[in-house]
Structure 1
Amino acid sequence: MKIAALFSGQGSHALGMGQAMAAASPVAQAVMDEAEAAVPGLLTLMQEGPLEDLTLTANQQPALVATGVAAYRAWAQATGLTPAYAAGHSLGEYSAHVAAGSLNLTDALKLTRRRGELMQRAVPAGVGAMSAAMGDPAVVRKVLGQTDGVAEVANLNAPTQTVISGEKAAIEAAGLALKARGLKVIPLRVSAPFHCSLMERARAGLAGDLHAAHYGPLSFPVIANVSAEAVSDPAQIAALLEQQIVGTVRWVESVQRLADLGADLFIEFGQGNVLTGLVKRILPDARTVNIHTPDDIEAFLELVGPAS
């Protein structure tokens, strides 16, 4: 059994996230305590809200890191298992590095807090937009190439789901052109146009912090969003996380790379099941599991048993 540990990005948050796991697992509680120390007030916000404040990028990002890492560490302690690989969608790449031991939790929490602040401020409100286009990604790329203004591929999420990001007028124009070609286009409710060149200010602002952080040896490789390749050299991590802010999240290729490397069980750690859903669309026969609550760990143990 080769396990791929997956960690979600923005949009998977909810009030009470991680609370049940922390109550049942001292290891998970220790993660939450470290999160509170790194970002004071974060735990109260995660448990009590208001949801609008938790949804803010600067709060949501470290909250998702804490929840994903808490679930992962509780699972690892209960099962004695170690993944063969890890991957995270956008923000989740930081959680993947914490799981792999290449980035310590406090640094990840502080980096993602800063990342969220910078991404939120990078573009004035109302200037940017994002949409999800359902159809052939080659058609999406062709239309974007013919669109005036900034309109770029942000996420290649599934074989027929491509998220586009950029200037509002350009994204709206691209959406109309895609609809004229028979594609379904869904405008996304986001606070900023992520993973496009409009995030350049955020990239520049975070670069120094990323390169100043310490990256240690990886216990297992992490698939990088921007290259869809396995990273085993800690010297590569800062540059890849920097590029990711303005680059495309190549999730389809990342999941396919995991499969090519032999991964045969995909476990999504933390709140939500977005990534396991995308894995099923990319690899219809893949085995997937979600670990967020103590009950999820119990069900997993019943399924596979603890490591010998």
Structure 2
Amino acid sequence: MKIAALFPGQGSHAVGMGTDLTAAFPQAEAVYAGAEATLPGLRALIEGGPPEDLTLTANQQPALVAASVAAFRAWQAHTGLTPAFAAGHSLGEYSALVASGTLDLADALRLTRRRGELMQEAVPVGVGAMSAVMGDPNVVREVCAATPGTVQPANFNAPTQTVISGEKAAVDAAAAELKARGLKVIPLKVSAPFHCALMQPAQDALTPDLQSTTFSPFAFPVFANVTAEANSDPAALPELLARQITGSVRWVETIQALAAAGAEVFIEFGPGTVLTGLVKRILPDARTLNVGTAEQVSGFKL
């Protein structure tokens, strides 16, 4: 059975995530020990908070990588299974690359800490905004393209759920037009306008770090956010990960492409169930599973 391993992005974090895994599985403990050695203080933040500090972008990103990779490695050691493919939502792409063996865990933690810092610094607080839009994504594209200022689709999460991102005034103007056309718009509480052109300073600053990172051969392909296509070429990763910062997360196309490639079961590794929920909206008949706790690892059945 071909498994697609999925890894969540920001918003899936919770204080204490993965701590039952570290107590039950040495592979998970090794991940958390490695995270602490790489970014001192991160483990205490994951295990005990406070929540407001864990939620900070520069902390949340490496923390979610640690929690997701810990779940994956515990599961792989316990079951002996290997996915056929992987994909991650935004930040989760780094977790997917660690799982595939092409990116070292310590490098992923350092890169996502830096990525979080740069994304937060790219736009002053209050200048940007993001909103979730329920309705036809083609209408969202059309309205964003016609709205003055910077506003663009950031995440194509589900067939009728698209997140827009950009300058607050432009996002508000697009939202007003979308509502006038009968679409539902929900403003999001975010610290910065991710996955839009305003993130260009972060993309430019992270690019040298990506270019100096060593990427190893893939154990299995990882579908990239910006192309929604399988990638097994380590040399392509610096550009793909840089473009991801300003580009749209093409999640609907990614899940459809995984299914077309033969994925028969979709397993979300790490805290939360956001991605399995989205998969069900994209492919209503898809088989989905979650692996984020010790119980889910030890009781795993395909």
How would you bin the TM-score normalised by the shorter chain?
A: over 0.9
Report how far residue 298 of structure 1 moved. Answer: 2.5
Q: What is the rounded CA distance, in whole Å, between the counterparts of 1:81 and 1:278 in structure 2?
A: 24
Letter in 2 for 1:182: G
Match of 1:265 in 2: 265
CA distance in 2, matches of 1:291, 1:83: 13
Residue-pair matches, total: 302
Query: Are residue 37 (structure 1) and residue 37 (structure 2) matched?
Result: yes
Task: Give the CA deviation at 1:47.
Answer: 1.2
Matches within 5 A, 1:1-308: 1-300=1-300, 303-304=301-302
In 1, Cα distance between the equivalents of 2:172 and 2:152?
12
Q: CA deviation at 1:115?
A: 0.2
1:277 & 1:238 partners in 2: Cα distance?
A: 30
Mapped partners of 1:107, 1:197: distance in 2? 26
Give 3-state SS (helix, strand or coil) of 2:299's partner. helix
Question: Which whole-Å CA distance do the structure 1 matches of 2:48 and 2:229 have between them?
Answer: 39
> Partners in 1 of 2:232 and 2:109 — Cα distance?
22
**Residue 112 (structure 1) shift:** 0.2
Cα deviation 1:57-102 (Å, max 9, x = unaligned): 0000000000000000000000000000000000000000000000
Q: Deviations over 1:259-302 (max 9, x none)?
A: 000001000000111000000000000000000111101331xx
Please give the secondary structure, in 1, of the residue aligned with 2:129. Answer: strand
Task: Name segments (4+ residues, structure 1) moved above 2 Å.
Answer: none
Measured on the aligned residues, the alpha-carbon RMSD in Å equals 0.6
**C-alpha separation in 1, matches of 2:14 and 2:233:** 34
Give the residue type in structure 2 aligned to 1:70: A
CA–CA separation in structure 1 for the residues paired with 2:145 and 2:265: 37
Unmatched segments (≥5 aa) in structure 2: none
| Post-superposition offset of 1:237 | 0.8
- Partners of 2:136 and 2:77 in 1: how far apart? 42
Stretches of structure 1 lacking an aligned partner (at least 5 in a row): none
1:8-47 CA distance string (max 9 Å, x none): 0000000101101111001100000000111110011111
Distance 2:296 2:95 in 1: 19
What's the secondary structure of 2:248's corresponding residue? coil
CA distance in 2, matches of 1:144, 1:54: 32
2: distance between equivalents of 1:150 and 1:94?
27
Q: Deviations over 1:229-274 (max 9, x none)?
A: 1001111111100000000000000000000000010000001110
SS state at 2:163 partner:
strand
TM-score w.r.t. structure 1 length? 0.97
Distance 2:102 2:243 in 1: 18
TM-score by length of 2: 0.99
* CA apart distance, 1:214: 0.4
Distance 1:208 1:298 in 2: 41
Q: 2:9, 2:205 → 1: CA distance? A: 20
Looking at structure 2, the residues matched to 145 and 154 of structure 1 have their Cα atoms a distance apart, in angstroms, of 13
* Identical-residue share of aligned pairs (%): 67
